[in-house]
Amino acid sequence: MQVPLMDLKAEYRELRDEILTAVDQALTSMQLFLGPNVQALEAEWAELCGVKHAIGVGSGTDALIMALKVLGVGPGDEVITTSWTFIATIEAIVHVGAKPVLVDIAPATFCLDPQLIEAAITPQTRAIIPIHVFGHPADMDSINQIAQQHNLYVIEDACQAHGASYHGKPVGSLGHCGTFSFYMSKNLGGYGEGGMVTTDDDHLAEQVRRLRNHGQTAKYQHKIVGYNSRLDEIQAAVLRVKLPRLGWGNQRRRELAALYDELLADCPVTTPTEASGVHHVYHLYTIRTDRRDELAAHLEQQAISFARHYQAPCHTEAACRPWGLNEVDLPQARQAAAEVIQLPLHPYLSEEQIRYVATAVTEFFD
């Protein structure tokens, strides 16, 4: 039996007629510049996240850059985040001219460890970027309390956590800004690039709208130097077809994750944690074992797909050396990089496939 890590084709087969109709309507109208689908998706996403504003941009990376820019973060500033993330988080900080300051993760959740933040704060610190890793929200109460004490901005990197919540509040509403990616592999993904910035602040929202569109306040009137980073109308049309099924997809992920938990309960691996008050959306189902690479070879023999995020934490990458990040001691991130493996998990997997994967894992250790 072959078991894919994800299956975009299965989703497309189910939604094909709706997607093609939505795309055809968008093309027939030719309202492709921040058109009705972008505007409607922004309103729908703001409602989902419980915020006043959602602004569609070109990608999740652009969302992070623009959130930093409108908060005034720039050269000479420092931004605290974690190395356990896709490098886009670090790129965004560097692209606005600021310096990334990395702290380690809490091993149970893989999220930024709030207990390590205060020691990293300097007079140059301007912001904190917690990442809701693999669909599990970071400890936002602790992070926001520290930020308030030190007058720092908080930008949520929610690019892996569409629909997750923290003590009843949706991610994207827990900081000064939230940022999302609609890359194809996300819990809500398009068929190209796309992103969103969320905020309750009217001024920040207006600044993002201006920044994404060459700094324009009106046609050919440019108050600031901006970017060409508008969410595409075709992508918005696709995302609007998919959005009503996000809740179902997340619930299905939770059900399948619970089945994995049950089947692997007696297996010598560490299964994912869900902290109290958190609603995990399992963008990835991540287990830990000190025999990770041997297990990966065994799964490959059984035609089971897997992933290993992140085999090279950002601070070990050559691109990060100019900022001295390779000299930072982050033992939890390094250990996780040697131990984690992601098993197949997506809404279109069958319970039979989950059982097949769990059996393969168990048999390896037996």
The pLDDT tens digits for 146-203 are 999 999 999 999 999 999 999 999 999 999 999 999 999 999 999 999 999 999 999 9
- What are the chain's domains? 8-103+110-244 (3.40.640.10), 246-365 (3.90.1150.10)
> Are 80 and 73 contacting, i.e. CB atoms less than 8 angstroms apart?
no
Given a cut of 90, whether residue 328 has pLDDT beyond it is no
State the average pLDDT over residues 28-57. 97
129 — phi, psi (to 5°)?
Answer: -115, 95
Instruction: Identify the band that residue 206 occupies on the pLDDT scale cut at 50, 70 and 90.
Output: very high
User: Mean pLDDT of all residues in the chain?
Assistant: 97
Burial class from Cβ neighbours inside 10 Å (0-12, 13-18, 19+) for residue 318 reads exposed
- What is the residue whose two structure tokens read 């068929």? 191
6 — phi, psi (to 5°)?
Answer: -145, 165
All residues at 6 or more sequence positions from 219 whose CB lies less than 8 Å from its CB, including other chains: none
Instruction: Identify the band that residue 93 occupies on the pLDDT scale cut at 50, 70 and 90.
Output: very high
Omega cis (within 30) before 356: no
Burial class from Cβ neighbours inside 10 Å (0-12, 13-18, 19+) for residue 253 reads buried
* Count of CA atoms in the C-beta half-sphere (13 A) of 97: 7
Instruction: Identify the band that residue 31 occupies on the pLDDT scale cut at 50, 70 and 90.
Output: very high
Q: How far apart are CA 316 and CA 193, in angstroms?
A: 27
Predicted local distance difference test score (pLDDT) of residue 296: 98
Predicted local distance difference test score (pLDDT) of residue 258: 98
All residues at 6 or more sequence positions from 28 whose CB lies less than 8 Å from its CB, including other chains: none
Given a cut of 90, whether residue 327 has pLDDT beyond it is no
The kind and range of the H/E element at 107 are none
Given a cut of 90, whether residue 325 has pLDDT beyond it is no
